[in-house]
Amino acid sequence: MSPDDAPSAGKFPGNSPESRDIAFHMHPYTNPAMLADTGPHIMAEGSGVFVQDESGARFYEGMSGLWCTSLGFSEPELVNAAIEQFRKLPFYHSFAGKTVGPAVDLAEHLINIAPPAADGASMSKAFFCSSGSEANDTAIKMVWYYQAARGKPEKRKIISRRRGYHGVTMAAASMTALAYAQDGFGLPLEFVKHTTAPCFYNEGHDGESERDFARRCAEELEALILAEGPDTVAALFAEPVMGAGGVVIPPEGYFEEIRRVLRKHDVLLVADEVICGFGRTGSMWGSQTMDVRPDMLTCAKALSSAYLPISAVLMSDSVYDTLAAQAEELGIFGHGYTYSAHPVCAAVALRAQQLMQERDILGNVQALAPRFAERVARMDRFAFIGNTRSVGLIGAVEFSSEPATKAKFDPAHKIAARAVAAIQEHGVILRALPGDIVGFCPPLVINGDELDDLFDRVEAALDGFAATAESLR
């Protein structure tokens, strides 16, 4: 079918980009009927913390795209890194002992900056994939390989937390304990089990302290492990700060309590750093901010500032040594991807990480975090906001019809989605999250003036939105 033959989509001419998109493109995480009615929002350019659509309208990208474009848009150093590597060697693989220079350099860099691992160990090796979903699926396979190598092949069950997001491939989507990623797909697969989300605002009991809540989360995790059988449970996957599940920041002492249970029952801890990694929480890793100390770690997104698809699994010495011994016995480690350590992706990711250090991006996050926290917290002045929370440069506001009682709006009203639409009219792109939550995740290169202007626009939008919220109570 040619563009001229594309079916006309409502108000859009048959050969317009909007009509052709509706005719030919199936979007991820999109309601097809709604897209056919409203048409796509086509972006054309980006620079720094801004993107611009085809009509010329400019927006703050308040979510860094999908929690990922940490160094902002159109960074010439990353563009040049890609061009240079394309000219040298546009593709090679890493099977059968082959490799490329950027992959060697990037692996070395990641291990050098890796957070502390479990029981005082260090991260030892990096394995490259193309997305966070791939990295988490790979980590599951590595966990199974590791347990089998220890003579415990029955330890295959994986635990994640409710509201956690770990990707959308078969295994990763099973760990993603959010209805929209599982409904209609026959998921989760039976080997994945879910435990309590560390969300004190919604899950805490009356009179319960945050520390007591952390202990209860650990007790409920242990009860699940015992119910399933410790000899069948292989690993817990956990985001240091839950992103897509609503920017859930665990209470003080949470991971200390969780580690105690996992050590007791010989269960690995895998940190999903896909959103938290590379400065987002004010430390290089969310695992440092939240004292996770994992056995394995997955990362993606800001690894290359999302300029090209690349992810990695980092593993401790003890995990790698066990995998390597098993691979020696079997004759090969039989897992990998065509694009593992793709040279152009690796070159761009390496340059992104170098820029993090050269420009002291972490210092910028730490300097702006108090102002960011103040601006997020200030939105509790709205009668329809029940909770605000932030750490580093990631935060959220949670809507409530009665903040004093934490009562929720009727989900059918989709109040957070309506608020996001109103905010976009004021020039800021944000994202509605499950549970009537709006997240904030600006590029890490944002400056103070831009940060204030972004929040001024959000507050102006919510001032105008107050009457709508009142009518939905």
Compute the distance between CA of residue 461 and CA of residue 455 in angstroms, rounded to an integer: 10
Lowest mean pLDDT among 115-129, 263-277, 298-312: 115-129
Q: What is the DSSP letter of 369?
A: H
DSSP percent split of the chain into helix, strand, coil, nearest 5:
45, 15, 40
352 and 365, same structural domain?
no
Tokens of 183: 């409904």
421 and 348 fall within a common domain: no
Q: What is the pLDDT of residues 20-63, one digit of tens each?
A: 999 999 999 999 999 999 999 999 999 999 999 999 999 999 99
Q: Give the CATH number, domain containing residue 463.
A: 3.90.1150.10
Structural domain includes residue 12: no
CA distance 376 to 389: 7
**What is the mean predicted confidence (pLDDT) over 307-328?**
97
**Sign of the CA dihedral running 215, 217, 218, 223:** positive
Same domain, 272 and 381: no
- Label residue 297 exposed, middle or buried (CB < 10 Å: 0-12, 13-18, 19+): buried
Q: How confident is the model at residue 10 (pLDDT cuts 50, 70, 90)?
A: low
Distances from the Cα of 159 to the Cαs of 150, 175, 191, 326, in angstroms?
20, 7, 9, 24
- Is the pLDDT reported for residue 4 higher than 80? no
Tell me, yes or no, if the pTM score tops 0.85: yes
**Whether residue 268 sits in one domain with residue 179:** yes
* pLDDT tens, residue by residue, 324-373: 999 999 999 999 999 999 999 999 999 999 999 999 999 999 999 999 99
Answer yes or no: do 296 and 426 share one domain. no
Residue 127 sits in the same domain as residue 276: yes
C-alpha dist (Å) from residue 77 to 50, 212, 287, 350, 353: 18, 48, 28, 11, 11
User: The dihedral of CA 233, 125, 117, 305: what is its sign?
Assistant: negative
Does 8 reside within a domain? no
- The DSSP H or E segment spanning 61 is strand 58-61
Same domain, yes or no: 342 and 414: no
| Single residue among 358, 382, 412 that ends a domain in this structure | 358
The mean pLDDT of 65-91, rounded to a whole number, is: 98
- Which CATH number belongs to the domain containing residue 212 in this structure? 3.40.640.10
pLDDT range class, residue 12, cuts 50, 70, 90: confident
19: in domain: no
* pLDDT given for residue 14 in this prediction: 78
Backbone phi and psi for residue 86, each to the nearest 5 degrees, phi listed first: -55, -40
On whether both 353 and 366 belong to a single domain, the answer is: no
* 8: pLDDT strictly greater than 50: no
Peptide bond into 40 cis (omega under 30): no
Same domain, 212 and 319: yes
User: Angle at the Cα of 123 (from 117 to 125), degrees rounded to 5?
Assistant: 155
358, 385, 400 — which closes off a domain? 358
Looking at 358, 377, 401, the residue that finishes a domain is 358
- Is the residue at 13 inside a domain? no
Average pLDDT score over residue span 302-315: 98
Provide the domain limits for residue 103.
Answer: 81-358
Instruction: Please tell me whether residues 210 and 287 are part of one structural domain.
Output: yes
Residue 246 predicted with pLDDT over 70: yes
pLDDT digits (tens, 9 = 90+) for 184-240: 999 999 999 999 999 999 999 999 999 999 999 999 999 999 999 999 999 999 999
What is the total count of domains within the chain?
A: 2
User: Confidence class of residue 9 from pLDDT cuts 50, 70 and 90?
Assistant: very low
Residues 223 and 172 in one domain: yes
Q: In which residue are the tokens 């920017």 written?
A: 247
Say yes or no to pLDDT of 100 above 60. Answer: yes
Is there a domain that residue 210 lies in? Answer: yes
Instruction: Tell me, yes or no, whether 11 lies in a domain.
Output: no
For all residues of the chain together, what is the average pLDDT? 96
- Separation CA 294–CA 318 (nearest Å): 12
A 10 A CB-CB count for 189 gives 14
State how far the Cα of 139 lies from the Cα of 142, in Å rounded to an integer: 5
Considering the domain boundaries, does residue 378 fall inside one?
A: yes
Phi, then psi, of 427 in degrees rounded to 5: 90, 25
* Residue 310 sits in the same domain as residue 366: no
On whether residue 181 sits in a domain, the answer given is yes
